[in-house]
Amino acid sequence: MVSKNQEKAFDVLWDNTTYKIINYYREGKYNEAAELAKLSIDIAKKVYGTDSTKVAISMNNLSLIYDIQGKFAEAESLSTNALEIWENKLGPDDPDVATSLNNLAGIYVSRGKYKEAEPLYKRSLEIKQKSLGQNHLETATSYNNLADLYRLEKRFNEAESLYRKAIEIFEHNKDHKNPNIGSALNNLAEIHKIKGQYDEALKLYKRAFEIWRSSYGPDHPDIATAINNIAGIYYLEGNYVEAEKLYKEVLKIDEKSYGKNHHYNAMTYNNIALVKEGIGQYDDAERYFKEAFQISQNTLGEFHPSLVTFLNNLAGLYRARERYEEAEFYFKKGLVILEKVFGSNNPDVAMAMLNLAEMYESQGRTEDAKRFCDSAKSICKKDIKGS
Amino acid sequence: MSKILIVEDYKDLSEFYQEFLEGDTLFTTSDGESAVALYKEHKPDIVLMDLKLPKKSGIDATKEIIQIDPKAKIIAITAYGSTIGSKALEAGAKEVLRKPVRFNELKEIIAKYKSI
């Protein structure tokens, strides 16, 4: 039995622990956050009982940490238990139940279980509409979450209409600096980009950038994402000067946030290389592709499928310049990684072999072409369809 | 089920795409000239367009198809880097994939354009 005074002391302990968990989470110290979250569940169970809302909150926190750590099964189980506690304690229509539904749906999305996520997001939205009102910020966040799901499911028209609703509510509340409005604008922009409506996409990306910059400051990694998206549109529109300038800004911000050796930087070096290649600055393109490969190898190891993109891009550059030996060397290096990672009976391996075969044929190396072509064909049909 | 036009002059690769896209209605050709003709005739939902082709280049075929249908969803595929890729985008291709194409990437992109 816990006395009133002891309970007060435990309240303070639980609150402080939860505060620390949130801070660790924000700082990206997920192992530390997970250890504390486990402790806070234990405290809550002992002091408040196994079915208390504090247990649900602690479970929920741990599930969010596990989700980001990729421990999806554990995350799902904790989140399901938390939801049950909320529903039993508060009834099915409480806003906290809506939040819990939302978290569980997020975990389903992480696991690719989109069909399971949809009814939860919808229920969460309904609860918020009923309990908080149509124009509440929480309702807007729910619209945003459901829209994200539809976007992932490629239900672009439904997603677009929900993003617009979310943005309308954020604007109605004059909550112009809320980073969530930035996310909604950014994701809406992505849909316009997919539809080839680049002008509209650019406008929206720029608005997202402004909002994120005023809420996060100029050096936040999300700012780099926003600039990267704008650069992508410039690239698609053929505005290479602007695209290159912006990709270099992305690099500056990301290097500050993550250091030089980070996979994001590799992607940006690759993007700059594509721009350089596009405008015929081949030596620079070669240098940037090599830099991308090197960074990626340093961070992901010698045999990671992400390396293959950079190797193939480099090889493509050489092939276009008729430097076939180097092209062959890098295409083959990519093929070796694919074989090592996926095994030799894999459609990507077959595709890489056919690509080499095609190059050999164009060089008149028919024997080599045939050898690679036959190997590719031996990769059976089921492996293509089943991929 | 969607209608997909595969324009690829390397026969084995074209067959590979056909196997992968089994279930959709497929039209295939190995040159740019007949790609334009097939587009006119069948109005496919998606075009996979190799860029280095006999008779008419993939860039020119893309330009002509875009003139016929500005909303044509053409996915350019090239083994020759982003110089030619940029030209394909200028001509109206929605995306450029570099060879060797990765299967998941192709799957994602085709699913994406089927949904628009």
**Any CB–CB contact under 8 A between A342 and chain B?**
no
Question: Which is more confident, B21 or A288?
Answer: A288
Half-sphere exposure of A105 (CA within 13 A, CB side): 24
Model confidence band, residue B69 (pLDDT cutoffs 50, 70, 90): very high
Q: Is the dihedral of CA A335, A336, A341, A346 positive or negative?
A: positive
Tokens standing for residue A95: 């806003």
Record: contact A154-B107, CB cut-off 8 A: no
Cβ(A284)–Cβ(A298) below 8 Å: no
Record: contact B19-A385, CB cut-off 8 A: yes
Question: Which is more confident, A57 or A301?
Answer: A57
| Least confident window among A110-114, B29-33, B50-54 | A110-114
Cβ(B56)–Cβ(B37) below 8 Å: no
The angle subtended at Cα A352 by Cα A329 and Cα A243, nearest 5°, is 80
Share the mean pLDDT of chain A: 90
Q: pTM, whole model, 2 decimals?
A: 0.82
| Least confident window among A126-135, A293-302, B36-45 | A293-302
For residue B85, which residues of chain A lie inside 8 Å, CB to CB?
274, 278
DSSP-based three-state secondary structure for A343: coil
Q: What is the pLDDT of residues A217-231, one digit of tens each?
A: 888 888 999 999 999
- The CA distance from A160 to A188, in Å, is 6
Class of the CATH domain delimited by A1-132: mainly alpha
For residue B10, which residues of chain A lie inside 8 Å, CB to CB?
354, 358, 361
| Least confident window among A183-192, A258-267, B66-75 | A258-267
Residue B78 parent element (H or E): strand B74-78
For residue B109, which residues of chain A lie inside 8 Å, CB to CB?
none
A 10 A CB-CB count for B23 gives 9
- The CA distance from A333 to A137, in Å, is 51
Q: Where are the domains of chain A?
A: 1-132
pLDDT score recorded for residue B68: 95
Cβ(A151)–Cβ(A190) below 8 Å: yes
Q: What is the pLDDT of residues A130-158, one digit of tens each?
A: 999 999 999 999 999 999 999 988 899 99
Q: What is the pLDDT of residues A326-338, one digit of tens each?
A: 999 999 999 999 9
CA of A156 vs chain B CAs: smallest distance (Å): 7
Q: What is the pLDDT of residues A320-372, one digit of tens each?
A: 999 999 999 999 999 999 998 888 888 889 999 999 999 999 999 999 999 99
DSSP-based three-state secondary structure for B26: strand
A 10 A CB-CB count for A199 gives 10
- For residue A191, give the chain B residue with the closest CA: B116
Interface-testing mutation among B73, B86, B89, B95, with chain A (most A C-beta atoms within 10 A)? B86
For residue A274, which residues of chain B lie inside 8 Å, CB to CB?
82, 85
For residue A309, which residues of chain B lie inside 8 Å, CB to CB?
102
Q: Which domains does chain B have, with CATH numbers?
A: 3-115 (3.40.50.2300)
Q: In what order do the strands lie in the sheet with B3-7?
A: B25-29, B3-7, B46-50, B74-78, B95-98
